[in-house]
């Protein structure tokens, strides 16, 4: 069983991944996917960290969001590491996909993402999909896909919830997040994949929020849940520092009562900002929230699906 957390390759995504690779904190069956969105030096630095520390990583060769794919001359290219078998080249199935994209050189693995049922069925009808190529095929866990595919695949699902304009995260501070591994075990999937706490939607510039919200995943039994710590002040877009202190105070009060598995190094660092009354910036907060999720899932994968 493999967990493929899917990242859009924002700066804080890459910082979290790079740090965990350098710490050798990820098991072999937790393989992140990066879809590049910006030509930034953090991308090749992250790829190098994974390769140097002997851990597999997927990079999408034909990203479908942002204008990264349209930039002909990359200042910070990840492709020099393509010859290393630890780097898995991924492709999003689409009109420009060719059979060669689904093939891997000897000793290498490939990964293909099929977001649309019709495109997936067309690839299968053309004979592009075999039991061994691509190595990993990611698709929505739909009954019609299970019925039509004649090979194992990895379920890809977006669990993130975003409130509409009339709501805030305060309307749903705690809720179910995922138990995809149970479905994967039941149907015999190769693994499971999701967009972590960031969600599958991508916005080039983001958007302002009236509240500061900290997102932490945690396990309750066999169920992965998410708790949201929301600032009390939600009247306007001002004072993010003060709103952060309101939210992190709730996290610092909640965390000590949780099981040891939930008290990851990243979560403890977030709680420490309350004691220190230090505002590290919302980018650091997002990085630590993602690092916590990966540290939590790394421990889960090691315990439930140990590998040599």
Model pLDDT, residue 165: 62
Planar angle of CA 222, 225, 228, nearest 5 degrees: 160
pTM of the model: 0.94
Q: Which phi and psi (to 5°) does residue 40 adopt?
A: -125, 150
| Residue-wise pLDDT tens digits, 85-128 | 999 999 999 888 888 888 888 889 999 999 888 889 989 888 88
Residue 134 carries which DSSP code?
A: S
Task: Look up the domain containing 60 and give its range.
Answer: 2-304
Sequence-separated (6 or more) residues with CB below 8 Å from residue 64:
35, 92, 94
CA atoms within 13 A on the CB side of 115: 10
Give me Rg for the CA atoms of the chain: 20
pLDDT in tens, 73-84: 777 888 899 999
Q: How far apart are CA 35 and CA 202, in angstroms?
A: 11
pLDDT of residue 70 exceeding 70, the answer is no
Give the Cα separation of 179 and 242 in Å (integer): 35
Distance of CA 169 to the CA centre of its chain: 20
The 10 Å Cβ neighbour count of residue 238 is 11
* pLDDT score for 89: 93
Look up tokens 């979560």; give the residue: 267
Number of domains in the chain: 1
Residue 121's contacts (CB-CB under 8 Å, 6 or more residues apart) are: 148
Provide, rounded to the nearest whole percent, the portion of the chain with pLDDT above 70: 94
The DSSP output letter for 101 is G
Encode pLDDT of 6-53 as tens digits. 998 889 999 999 999 999 999 999 999 999 988 889 999 999 999 999
Q: Is residue 78 within 8 Å of 47, Cβ to Cβ?
A: yes
Tens of pLDDT, residues 159-201: 988 776 666 777 788 999 999 999 999 999 999 999 999 887 7
What is the Cα–Cα distance from 206 to 295, expressed in whole angstroms? 26
């Amino acid at each position: 069983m493999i967990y493929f957390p899917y990242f859009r390759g924002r700066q804080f995504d890459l910082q979290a991944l790079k740090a965990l690779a350098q710490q050798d904190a990820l098991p072999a069956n937790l393989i992140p996917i990066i879809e590049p969105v910006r030509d930034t030096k953090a991308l090749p630095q992250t790829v190098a960290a994974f390769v140097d520390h002997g851990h597999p990583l997927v990079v999408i060769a034909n990203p479908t969001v942002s204008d990264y794919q349209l930039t002909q001359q990359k200042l910070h290219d990840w492709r020099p590491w393509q010859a290393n078998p630890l780097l898995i080249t991924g492709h999003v199935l689409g009109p420009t996909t060719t059979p060669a994209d689904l093939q891997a050189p000897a000793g290498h693995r490939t990964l293909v993402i099929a977001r649309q049922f019709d495109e997936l069925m067309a690839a299968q009808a053309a004979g592009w999909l075999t039991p061994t190529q691509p190595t990993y095929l990611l698709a929505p866990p739909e009954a019609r896909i299970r019925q039509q595919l004649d090979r194992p695949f990895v379920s890809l699902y977006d669990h993130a919830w975003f409130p509409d304009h009339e709501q805030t995260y305060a309307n749903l501070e705690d809720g179910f997040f995922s138990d995809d591994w149970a479905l994967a075990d039941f149907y015999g999937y190769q693994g499971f994949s999701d967009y972590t706490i960031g969600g599958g939607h991508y916005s080039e510039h983001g958007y302002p929020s009236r509240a500061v919200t900290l997102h932490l995943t945690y396990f309750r039994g066999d169920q992965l849940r998410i708790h949201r710590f929301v600032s009390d002040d939600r009247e306007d877009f001002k004072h993010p520092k003060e709103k952060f202190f309101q939210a992190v105070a709730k996290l610092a009060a909640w965390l000590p009562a949780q099981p040891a598995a939930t008290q990851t190094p990243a979560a403890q660092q977030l709680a420490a900002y309350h004691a220190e009354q230090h505002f590290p910036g919302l980018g650091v907060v997002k990085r630590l929230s993602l690092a916590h999720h990966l540290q939590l899932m790394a421990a889960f994968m090691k315990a439930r699906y140990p590998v040599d």
